[in-house]
Amino acid sequence: MHLFELSLVFITMVLCSGMMFYFIRNHANPDFQKLYKDDDDLEIEDDFLDSRPSSNYTDFLANKWLSFGGGFYGLVAVLTYIIVEAQEIFDLLSMPSESEGVFSGISIGMLINFFIDSLMNFITAISWPVYWMNTGQAPFWQWCMAAYGGYLTGKMLVKTFHPSN
């Protein structure tokens, strides 16, 4: 059971870190480039970076990743935030409602509560070790090792098969 759980953690992190490093590999933002390159990498020339301003979903995800600190910690924080927010939205939509529907009961108080819950979810995300510590059957240190291994593997796969220009 532990092996299956740890494998899921590893695969999830390989996919997520691979996706994020793929998104930022040619980005002009120097903060993204610090995440992408290692100390042993050659300096990346500015001519090869995509300097067009963009407001697509990849930039949103990458900026969210940076806002949570970047690197492994930031990626797990973003994933935790997405999971906790998705659970909140699912709970909101699955609440038993009367014949008028889910959106008929939206009020100022409900919007304020949603904002407060979002802030609390942000705090949960930045303190993700506490959130994940009592989840699953595997010991937390094994979970962290599998997650970090997946993070490094995803980064290595992108750098090997999709190097920056």
pTM recorded for the entire structure? 0.74
Q: Are 81 and 125 in contact (CB under 8 A)?
A: yes
Longest dimension (CA), the chain: 63
DSSP string, 20-78: HHHHHTTBS-HHHHHHH--TTSPPPPGGGSB-S---SHHHHHHHHHHHTTSHHHHHHHH
Q: What is the pLDDT of residues 110-143, one digit of tens each?
A: 778 888 988 999 999 999 999 888 888 889 999 9
pLDDT digits 0-9 by tens, 71-113: 899 999 999 999 998 988 888 777 665 545 555 566 787 778 8
Domain residue spans of the chain? 2-161
- The answer to whether 22 touches 160, Cβ cutoff 8 Å, is no
pLDDT value of residue 49:
38
